[in-house]
Amino acid sequence: MPSAYDVLGALYDAWCRSVTEDIPFYVEVAAVGNGPVLEVGVGSGRVAVPLALAGLAVTGVDSSEVMLDLAWAKALVHRVALRLVRADMRRLPDLGRFATVLVPFRALLHLHDDGERLAVLRGLRGALEPGGTLAFDVFHPDAVDIEETDGRWLEREPGIYERALWDENERRLDLTVRSRGVSAGMELHWARPEDWRRLLHEAGFTAVEGYGWFDGRPIEPGATDSVWVARG
């Protein structure tokens, strides 16, 4: 069965065209690592290509063949090399060891529960070189987010609409993206910042830093986004 990303195809870049604030952050984290980078959920190469342009060796993993084709095409346009692998983050093959592992654009929200989260975090730690760095971002909505968006079609980008159906008890979001006769649905699951911090420690990370945004602000009570940097 095709994933939402297979269905979106070339619309993916239009859907996330305004998501740019994370790119300098991830490039900086990887540059500090000064070694090979693994990006999980590489998508169309939105982050991977800037990483490669910064002179970093990048391996990108995604479960969608369509996304990998888009990433390959983008790399060709920019004349950079990407190593691209089709795999699910829950079942990563042995790809070697990396100075930095990145999971941008809330990709970890595709995991259903703490069991899956912990297993994946342990796998990502296992992919790091000693002392390597994992960085990722997630959301965790508040009551205002849910009230203002639940069940409504909202224009995210010109001509691209989203509808969010929230289940607070299950911490689940059913998100539908619609544009130009294409409709793609995905199921996302969120956790609170305190849960992510606990899971990172349980996964064996000894230095964990959480931020409220990519500019390094602290996580305030009721924050709806968090950015994590953890070292093995």
Q: What is the CATH number of the domain that holds 60?
A: 3.40.50.150
Q: Which domain holds residue 90?
A: 4-141+191-231
pLDDT tens-digit profile of 185-198? Answer: 999 999 999 999 99
pLDDT higher than 90, residue 48: yes
pLDDT at 6: 97
- In this structure, the answer to whether residues 82 and 22 fall within a common structural domain is yes
Q: How far is it, in rounded angstroms, from Cα 226 to Cα 194?
A: 10
- In this structure, the answer to whether residues 90 and 168 fall within a common structural domain is no
- In this structure, the answer to whether residues 151 and 114 fall within a common structural domain is no
- In this structure, the answer to whether residues 102 and 71 fall within a common structural domain is yes
Contact 205, 230 (CB under 8 A): yes
pLDDT at 232: 85
- In this structure, the answer to whether residues 106 and 210 fall within a common structural domain is yes
Over residues 132-148, the mean pLDDT reads 97
- In this structure, the answer to whether residues 172 and 81 fall within a common structural domain is no
- In this structure, the answer to whether residues 108 and 178 fall within a common structural domain is no
pLDDT at 92: 97
- In this structure, the answer to whether residues 44 and 84 fall within a common structural domain is yes
226 Cβ partners below 8 Å, 6+ apart? 137, 138, 139, 140, 193, 196, 210, 211, 212, 219
pLDDT tens-digit profile of 116-133? Answer: 999 999 999 999 999 999
pLDDT higher than 80, residue 1: no
- In this structure, the answer to whether residues 172 and 88 fall within a common structural domain is no
Kindly report the pTM of this predicted structure: 0.97
SS3 47: coil
